[in-house]
Amino acid sequence: MSLLLDFIQTKIYTYVEPQRKGTPKGSAIGLTKVKYTATLTFLYGLKPKPMKTMAKSLKVSYGLLRKWSTEKQFKKQLRQNVQEFSQVFWDYIVESYNKHAAEMKAFLKKPAEQLASEGWPQMITNADLKPLEDFKEYSFVLQIVILAQTENILKNPDPVLAYYVSAILENLARRAGLPPSQELIAKEKEFRNRLEATILDRAIDTFGSANASSEERKEALCLLMMLRKDPRLPAKP
């Protein structure tokens, strides 16, 4: 199951519809379950599932769904859904990276000669991307909110994590067919320049230090190997 679909189904299953009883007169009662479900459905774009089709699956009229989509409370819940899922998305990315991080730590224990001959291990697999394969069907707003968090990558001190995450985002944006704007191209170039500078600085500091451990030197070697060959993309299935 895709990450977004699982998120939607879990939210629907655990949602408790608010009751009028006990609510002060004049206060907003909250969203009915079908209305709440509609806000979650909007996390997918209208291209794969037009609003008329969406209304039919929710068993409401097209006109009513259009009316809901203009209401302040509905739009507020939709924004909340976008923020919540974007956090779930990033938690999944970090969790995936951590799984590979264990493999990379084991890889770094090999002799330096073997590291150079084998190359950096595959960082992204098709299994990593499978729960995200419907990214191209996300709403445009959700896609942009997720991709905009590239800025956060630049603040991360771990260049390997930054490299991994940037690859995921590039791969998903390409699959979604998002046209790269000049601004995004410029940011990508800036990101790569800063990432490469970080890798080179770390390698220089490591090899220039008499106190650097064998494992630190091997890690620096592998980081330099990244600049020669991009190991991030998944092998073809």
Q: What is the pLDDT of residues 128-142, one digit of tens each?
A: 888 988 888 898 889
- The gap from C-alpha 11 to its chain's centroid, in whole angstroms, comes to 19
What residues contact 140, with CB distance under 8 A and at least 6 apart?
Answer: 45
For residue 64, the surrounding DSSP H or E stretch is: helix 62-68
Q: Are 194 and 200 in contact (CB under 8 A)?
A: no
Q: Distance (Å, rounded) from C-alpha 30 to C-alpha 35?
A: 9
Most confidently predicted of 51-55, 95-99, 166-170, 180-184: 51-55
Q: What is the pLDDT of residues 167-226, one digit of tens each?
A: 777 777 777 776 655 555 565 566 667 667 777 887 888 888 888 888 788 777 777 776
SS3 88: helix
